[in-house]
Homo-oligomer: A and B are copies of this chain.
Amino acid sequence: MQDRDGRPLGVAAIGYAFMGKAHSHAWRNVASYFDVPPFEQRVLVGRDAGQVAAAAARYGWAESSTDWRQVVQRDDIDIVDICAPGYLHAEIAIAALAAGKHVLVEKPLANTVAEAEAMVEAAQAARARGVHSMVGFNYRRIPALTLARDLIAEGRLGTVRQVRAAYLQDWLTDAEQPMSWRLRAETAGSGALGDTASHAIDQIQYLLNDRVRSVSGRVHTFVTERPGPCGPETVTVDDAAWATLDLTSGTIASLEVSRVALGRKNGLSIEIYGDRGSLLFDLETMNELRFLDGTVPAREQGFRRILVTEPEHPYLSAWWPQGHVLGWEHSFVHEIADFLGAIGANRAPVPTFETGLQVQRVLHSIVTSSAQSQATILLPPALD
């Protein structure tokens, strides 16, 4: 499956804005550092013909196109990487899977639970035919977080009781910042919740290898009006949200996200407290993991700052000698290395669309709870 008839896998990417740029970087670099099946950056797809052509040239794509429908049908395309806005995810992914293309979709999987359910259905049907799919929760591939998952899986934290997760940004602090499509529910689906809480929820479930079973939460919009071209317009998505999440194991996680937390630039912070050890992580210092081993004598206990740049650390042997820190963009390089590796081995890559749907249901339950005065909402059982 690694290539059809011996030829390299053909890749198409859809979208060339922030995420398209980041994914393109990953496609451009992955084979220099990881052993992956042969592939080619064939087509970059976007809406504006001139801009997408320029982006394709910059980022190493052989051609460009403005017609994703046509591209996902091309015989020389084996993989479709969807970096388009969330409301397009379902339609493109379902079409690509139907056409027998492996699909990678940026997170969150979709804007609604219904879309996500349809995507899962399509993914399951495709999987039965050896056609694979994955949702791009790239932070799973940050070495420090992969290491955190490993330490937890090895039992170094014992029973995890509490998790504190937050994703704080500040780019909407200024109330005079103008209205945009990202602040309208019909285009963006949600605000901080879908964009950043989705990352945090995936991390909680991933790191603990656990699933959320019930939720109490709240969404809120601090800045309810912003300047539009013809006067003030109403913001229809949240700019902050809070939740407590019960996991099936009994762990309780708290969650807080914001786009108006002045001074926090990309502050995904995760604290995990077990009865034998604890872990701390902050995306702004993403090459570090803080680990407290509760089994050493109290006299010498303390959170140790592990600089996750040793060859012993996940993904690191591919890169530089110890002490040379990696950037945020390499989470995508690792993601695509893992994705290609799974495709090459004809294994289902993770996280699956089912995982993406589960995150979507958690997000949806927070909104539901918020509408019901924060009453606790029980989730349907997870699919995977």
Chain A positions near chain B (C-beta within 8 angstroms): 18, 21-22, 24-25, 28-29, 31-33, 58-60, 147, 151, 161-162, 164, 166, 168-171, 173-175, 216, 218, 220, 222, 240, 242, 244, 250, 252, 254, 256, 258, 260-267, 271, 273-278, 283-287, 290-294, 297-307, 309-310, 312-313, 319-330, 369, 372-376
Q: Are A260 and B320 in contact (CB under 8 A)?
A: no
Q: Are A312 and B297 in contact (CB under 8 A)?
A: yes
Q: Are B162 and A258 in contact (CB under 8 A)?
A: yes
Count chain B CB atoms within 10 A of each CB in A147, A175, A306 and give the residue with the most: A306
Q: Are B252 and A240 in contact (CB under 8 A)?
A: yes
Shortest distance from the beta carbon of A345 to any chain B beta carbon, whole Å: 21
Complex A-B: 25 CB contacts under 8 Å:
A18-B320, A22-B320, A25-B32, A29-B29, A32-B60, A161-B222, A162-B260, A162-B261, A171-B322, A216-B374, A218-B244, A222-B250, A240-B252, A242-B254, A260-B275, A263-B292, A265-B307, A266-B325, A284-B323, A284-B325, A298-B312, A304-B304, A325-B328, A326-B328, A374-B375
Chain B residue contacts of A323, Cβ below 8 A? 169, 264-267, 283-284
Task: With A266-B324, A275-B262 as known contacts, state yes or no: A307 contacts B284, CB within 8 Å.
Answer: yes
Q: Are B258 and A273 in contact (CB under 8 A)?
A: yes
Q: Helix, strand, loop or mixed for chain A's interface?
A: mixed
Chain B residue contacts of A276, Cβ below 8 A? 262
- Of chain B, the residue at the smallest CB distance from A284 is B307
**Could you tell me the distance between the alpha carbons of A174 and B306 in the complex, rounded to whole angstroms?**
19
Q: Are B162 and A325 in contact (CB under 8 A)?
A: no
Chain B residue contacts of A262, Cβ below 8 A? 273-278, 292, 294
Chain B residue contacts of A299, Cβ below 8 A? 147, 306, 310, 312-313
Chain B residue contacts of A275, Cβ below 8 A? 173-175, 260, 262
Chain B residue contacts of A22, Cβ below 8 A? 320
Chain B residue contacts of A291, Cβ below 8 A? 300, 302
**Could you tell me the distance between the alpha carbons of A277 and B324 in the complex, rounded to whole angstroms?**
22
Given A31-B58, A324-B329: 5 more A-B contacts, CB < 8 Å: A25-B29, A216-B218, A263-B292, A263-B301, A302-B305
